[in-house]
């Protein structure tokens, strides 16, 4: 099967490059990231100069066998808009974090594609701060639920902390967080320099924390606080006025001391 996929891919790419309307061709998905299995599809994004060139190229490719090959065709203006920050395809920015450039005679497509796989520099600091605040909030609420013996609420809040945690961690290097199915491969093949734990330890902490395990939640929170302060985000943690520290050190075995808990924790 993989050999036929490869043959189909080769024929289609040859036809794409031969079309004078085509100004760019990218291999995305798992193969573009080198994360693929033998039976993985080839995900192609093809860029043409003008909107009226999309349909003719689709007709030209229709006669070719496409099993194992997915082709998305868009014009240059649409490609510029696709996966814009905050737009409807924002979720797909990670697809451009790592890719293979197959055709780009002008060099324009590469620069556009690279920008999609990053957190825009002009908003990166605010995005990190918002992500950290959302992460602290989710962990705090998870621990608060635990203190109240609200099992399901605590597990759901703990699971909700994973997204903003990864958003902040990757944004420290201007990167977008990967799809969860790619997280381990991303960290192994494209390491985060700021990650304060060995990769396998971090993955175990995140998995355990997402299940609501208190020790893992607290280990992550303390480690992320140290890292965030090193990166200049002290103020995000300081704004919590000790509520984060209560969450980081709460113990099931000790009676809750109202003097050591945040004064208004019952209202939060």
Higher-pLDDT residue of 1, 84:
84
Q: What is the mean pLDDT of residues 17-41?
A: 96
For residue 15, pLDDT beyond 60: yes
Average pLDDT, the chain: 93
Backbone angles phi, psi at 73, to 5 degrees: -120, 130
**Domain map of the chain by residue range?**
2-116, 124-267
pLDDT in tens, 176-230: 999 999 999 999 999 999 999 999 999 999 999 999 999 999 999 999 999 999 9
Specify the CATH number of the domain 2-116. Answer: 3.30.460.10
Q: What percent of the chain has pLDDT over 90?
A: 91
For residue 84, pLDDT beyond 70: yes
Cα dihedral angle (221, 222, 223, 227), rounded to 10 degrees?
A: 100
- Residue 108's pLDDT band (boundaries 50, 70, 90)? very high
How far apart CA 214 and CA 143 sit, in angstroms, is 7
Q: What is the mean pLDDT of residues 144-170?
A: 97
pLDDT in tens, 237-256: 999 999 999 999 999 875 44
């Amino acid at each position: 099967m993989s050999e036929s996929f490869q043959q189909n891919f080769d024929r289609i790419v040859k036809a794409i490059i031969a079309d004078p309307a085509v100004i760019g061709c990218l291999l995305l998905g798992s193969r573009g990231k080198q994360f693929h299995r033998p039976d993985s599809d080839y995900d192609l994004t093809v860029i043409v100069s003008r909107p009226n060139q999309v349909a003719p190229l689709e007709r030209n490719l229709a006669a070719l066998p496409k099993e194992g090959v997915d082709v998305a065709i868009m014009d240059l203006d649409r490609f510029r808009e696709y996966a814009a920050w905050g737009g409807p395809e924002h979720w797909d920015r990670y697809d451009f974090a790592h890719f293979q450039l197959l055709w780009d005679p002008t060099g324009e497509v590469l620069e556009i594609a690279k920008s999609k796989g990053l957190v825009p520099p002009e908003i990166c600091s605010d995005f990190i701060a918002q992500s950290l605040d959302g992460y602290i909030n989710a962990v705090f609420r998870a621990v608060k639920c635990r203190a109240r013996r609200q099992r399901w609420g605590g597990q759901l809040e703990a699971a909700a902390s994973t997204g903003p945690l990864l958003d902040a961690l990757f944004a420290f290097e201007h990167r977008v967080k990967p799809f969860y199915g790619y997280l381990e491969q991303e960290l192994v093949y494209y390491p985060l320099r700021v990650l304060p734990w060995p990769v396998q330890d971090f993955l175990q902490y995140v998995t355990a924390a997402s299940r609501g395990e208190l020790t893992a939640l607290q280990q992550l929170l303390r480690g992320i606080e140290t890292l965030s302060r090193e990166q200049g985000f002290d103020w995000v943690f300081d704004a919590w006025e000790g509520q984060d520290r209560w969450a980081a050190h709460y113990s099931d075995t000790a009676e809750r001391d109202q003097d050591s808990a945040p004064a208004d924790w019952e209202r939060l």
